[in-house]
Amino acid sequence: MEFPPEAIESEWLGFPQTSEENIANTEARLAIKLPLSYREFLKVSNGWLEYPGVIKLRGINEIDWFCTENQEWIDIWIASCKDTPPISDEEYLTYGKNSQDFCV
């Protein structure tokens, strides 16, 4: 795999940090508060290059809601579940024969 010359020279696969203002603007655009760990990561490296064994981490200007880029995945999942009978919250939230099954 070829890395950009800057990454080789600096021995750093990250990007320059982003500002608190950029993070706040993105949080406003998405109408959510980003997880603290991701916020702190962005203040050190605004994204991370992809290389074998490591996925690319998106920078602040690349993040968006899953449905924005992957609506077809959602449509396929919904279509595959159309014949699934509904389940009540009481059933859904019971693990095993009763909720005590997972207590040790």
Domain residue ranges of the chain, discontinuous segments joined by + = 5-102
pLDDT in tens, 48-62: 877 766 677 889 999
| 3 state SS of 76 | helix
pLDDT tens per residue across span 6-36: 777 877 777 888 999 999 999 999 999 999 9
Is 32 in a helix, a strand, or coil?
coil
Beta bridge partners of 48: 14, 57
Whole-number average pLDDT of the chain: 83
> Tell me, what DSSP letter sits at residue 37?
H
Which residues are CB-neighbours of 79 under 8 A, at least 6 positions away? none
Q: 0.75 exceeded by the pTM?
A: no
